[in-house]
Amino acid sequence: MFELVGVSPVENCLAGFNSSILAYGKTGSGKTYTMWGPANTLLEDKIINDQQDQTPRANQAFQQLQYQCHCSFLEIYNEQITDLLDPNQRNLQIREEVNSRVYVENLTEEYVSSVRDVTRLLIKGLSNRRIGATSINSESSRSHTVFTCVVESRCKSTADISSFKTSRINLVDLAGSE
């Protein structure tokens, strides 16, 4: 799946364009599995490359280049936003700056410098996500989640002038569509 849908958004993000990957479908169709991979691939000391999916593979691509990256992870459940990296931060508010930048107020952003750092954030965030049993799936995601990586890069031109690019990639796992 990463080769089919993940490569282009990651390359666009590295080129300075905002990108998103969304998993949408009914309960039990494999949205969460597609976004995060099997649960055992997120073990910090056991990263299984051929079983990883969108998020772990996207972040490995970032590690091959020299970028500064920070990530956030939020959940939307019953129209309330919760910070999955600090679940005590609940009922967060969406704000808009004068320059039209939309953000979630008080959302935790952590700098990452390795795949292990990203994996640690995924484990932490996914362990705080709301799940519940359905007739189709005993551990069904009951909320929407958005894992965001903001990529900041400096490019030096030939005239010793630096340009600064900021882009983001949003990896969205939606709750069941039914």
In CATH, what number is assigned to the domain containing residue 128? 3.40.850.10
Calpha distance 153→155 (Å, rounded)? 6
Give the residue among 111, 114, 102 at the shortest CA–CA distance from 150. 111
The pLDDT tens digits of the residues spanning 44-75 come to: 444 444 445 545 555 554 444 567 899 999 99
What is the Rg, in whole angstroms, of the alpha carbon atoms belonging to the chain? 17
Calpha distance 42→119 (Å, rounded)? 6
pLDDT over 50 (residue 112): yes
What is the extent of the structural domain holding 21? Answer: 2-173
Is residue 35 assigned to a domain? yes
Tokens of 119: 């994996």
DSSP 114: S
Calpha distance 62→164 (Å, rounded)? 17
Tokens of 125: 């965030």
Tokens of 27: 């309960």
Is residue 54 assigned to a domain? yes
The pLDDT tens digits of the residues spanning 115-170 come to: 889 889 988 998 888 766 555 555 656 789 999 999 988 765 556 666 778 899 99
pLDDT over 80 (residue 18): yes
Is residue 178 assigned to a domain? no
The pLDDT tens digits of the residues spanning 21-48 come to: 888 888 777 777 777 776 555 554 444 4
Number of folded domains that form the chain = 1
pLDDT band of 81, cuts 50, 70, 90 = very high
Cα dihedral 120, 123, 125, 127, rounded to 10, equals: -150
